[in-house]
């Protein structure tokens, strides 16, 4: 005999308590309204509807390529004098030695490959992917640095294939189980899970939405993340301004005195 002891029903506490936020791909981490802001009988369906709407907002942002900002003399100097690609950090050759294709001015017939400044093969020509180019952020328009042409192309975002992360705190331990039970009923998008077992999911994707557990996908190691915390016993202190640089998004929503409390090592009632 099996007795039902508990039934867990997905719910949302509403906009005043919901921690969900949509973060658009802005350089300053600009945040928008809560992703879910209402109670509902089918919160999973509303979740997917909200996420799909917000997915389009994000993809539209990626589709609008912002031209590079006006290059100031300082930026041009940085571009011309750099000797390393800012992306791969390998050597850059001079811009005048960029590989180009040369065509006859009258017949338009292809003649040969050449350096930009010599228009004739007088030394070994670098591969075209090694050309020095200006790399800029397609979202903000800001100049990022000189780069190889090949490296620059690899950084380009394809709005039609990019996966947009949806983060859940401890999602693989609890929330993902509820989502996988209901999500196929409310969406026609392809669902691709990576499971630990029949109950736990490391991550899964629904179309271009990639659901990940923020606890399992923290990029820095634990030791590195702990460097941001303050250990008062060791006399380690950081000003609110320094903490704001370590936690730029969190500092926008939490007052400085609370940020000091949140970034210190916890006090627990056990040894």
DSSP state of 229: S
pLDDT digits (tens, 9 = 90+) for 178-219: 788 788 888 888 888 888 887 788 888 999 999 998 877 766
In this structure, are residues 172 and 201 in contact, taking their beta carbons and an 8 Å threshold? yes
CA distance 129 to 147: 10
Rounded Cα distance between 69 and 135, Å, is 11
Q: What are the residue ranges spanned by the domains of the chain?
A: 73-154, 220-271
Radius of gyration of the chain (CA): 26
Backbone angles phi, psi at 48, to 5 degrees: -65, -35
Reported pTM: 0.61
Residue of 56, 62, 50 lying closest to 12 (CA atoms): 50
Per residue of the chain (271 residues), give pLDDT as tens. Answer: 566 666 666 665 554 455 555 555 555 555 555 555 556 677 788 788 888 888 888 898 889 888 989 989 999 898 888 889 888 888 887 766 666 666 667 777 766 666 555 655 555 556 666 788 889 988 888 999 999 888 888 888 899 999 998 888 888 887 888 788 788 888 888 888 888 887 788 888 999 999 998 877 766 666 666 666 665 556 556 777 887 877 777 787 788 888 888 777 666 555 5
Residue 165 host element (H or E): strand 164-168
């Amino acid at each position: 005999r099996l007795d039902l002891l508990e039934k867990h029903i997905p719910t949302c506490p509403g906009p005043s308590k919901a921690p969900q936020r949509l973060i658009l791909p802005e350089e300053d981490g600009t945040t928008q309204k809560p992703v879910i802001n209402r109670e509902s009988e089918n919160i999973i369906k509303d979740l997917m509807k909200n996420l799909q709407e917000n997915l389009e907002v994000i993809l539209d942002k990626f589709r609008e390529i912002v031209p590079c900002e006006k290059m100031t003399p300082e930026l041009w100097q940085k571009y011309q004098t750099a000797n390393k690609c800012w992306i791969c950090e390998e050597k850059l050759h001079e811009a005048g030695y960029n590989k180009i294709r040369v065509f006859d001015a009258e017949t338009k017939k292809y003649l040969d490959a050449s350096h930009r400044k010599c228009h004739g093969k007088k030394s070994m020509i670098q591969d075209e992917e090694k050309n020095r180019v200006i790399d800029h952020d397609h979202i903000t328009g800001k100049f990022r640095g000189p780069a190889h042409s090949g490296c620059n192309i690899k950084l380009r975002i394809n709005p039609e294939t990019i996966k947009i992360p949806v983060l859940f705190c401890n999602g693989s331990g609890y929330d993902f189980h509820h989502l996988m039970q209901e999500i196929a009923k409310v969406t026609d998008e392809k669902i691709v899970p990576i499971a630990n077992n029949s109950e736990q999911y490391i991550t899964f994707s629904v179309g271009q939405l990639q659901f990940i557990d923020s606890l399992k996908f923290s990029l820095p190691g634990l030791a590195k993340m702990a460097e941001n915390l303050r250990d008062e016993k060791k006399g380690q202190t950081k000003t609110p301004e320094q903490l704001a640089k370590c936690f730029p998004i969190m500092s926008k929503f939490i007052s400085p005195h609370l940020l000091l409390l949140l970034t210190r090592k916890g006090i627990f009632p056990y040894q």
